[in-house]
Amino acid sequence: MSSITAPATIARRPPAMRITQARVALSEWTKLRTLRSTRYSLLAGFALTIVFAVLPAVVNASRWHRMSLAEKLRFNPLETSLIGVTFAQLAIGVLGVLILSGEYSTGMVRSTFTAVPRRLTVLWAKAGVFGIVTLVLAVPATVIAFFAAQAILTGHSVNGHDIALSFNDPGVARAVVGGALYLTLVGLLGLGLGAIIRNTAGGISALVAVLFVLPPLMNVLPTSWNNAISPYLPSNAGHAIMSVGSHVGTLAPWTGLALFAGYVGATIAAAAVLLRKRDV
């Protein structure tokens, strides 16, 4: 008696998904939005931009009638609206450092580069996703900060002119949106430094040195040297986009932002070269 044996069914493995820049960017977006530290840092940057615009506006509005004419003439309502950017840059810059240095510290970077062997694809995805997210949050933050501060200053005048600014005033819209662009570039600068140094503490220290230590350190130089060098420092060049009118010793707004973007681009480029040459 013979028996008929059914042919064995060979299970086929599903084809591996092709690695594309879009898919890597999607995975980086998933990482970014699921980490609580990321959400807290972005929220801190958003809040600091607004809070430190409102507080100085409240203080100056409350003491306006006691200020001398010289103090009133020196008062800059736009600078008051954007002072929060100076505080927010630390939160955004530190988060940028953590984007890659955090993976090195936990060892997760090995899994990332195993899944995506082309390391530059990972770097571009991280930079693109982080840059877009930061810009999307920074623009409304600087806009809200401006309108909130100007609403508080409305009704206070000097020589019969209201000190509050309109968004349509010459250079104001550029300065407000420029504050958001500056924050985005600071975040990308942090990301580049984190990728180069591969250590969170070292990356944050380098970022703080570039943004906060280097500019005042120029004061130890002779005045002529200080005046010649200071406008070209990364943070000073970037801050030029947030100024209105001509100021002695500063670059033109878009020239300064372009120079700062050049510093950031050079940092990211150096990170790309080292990422390809060094072992994990």
For residue 209, give every residue at least 6 positions away whose Cβ sits within 8 Å of its Cβ, in sequence order, or none.
none
Structure tokens given for 150: 């100007």
What residues pair up with 157 in beta bridges, in sequence order? 162
Provide the residue-wise pLDDT of the chain in tens; the chain has 280 residues: 444 554 544 445 445 568 888 899 998 898 888 888 888 999 999 999 999 999 999 999 999 988 988 888 889 999 999 999 999 999 999 999 999 898 888 888 888 888 888 899 999 999 999 999 999 999 999 999 999 999 999 988 888 788 899 999 999 999 999 999 999 999 999 999 999 999 999 999 999 999 999 999 998 989 999 999 999 999 999 999 999 876 667 899 999 999 999 999 999 999 999 998 887 6
User: Has this prediction a pTM greater than 0.75?
Assistant: yes
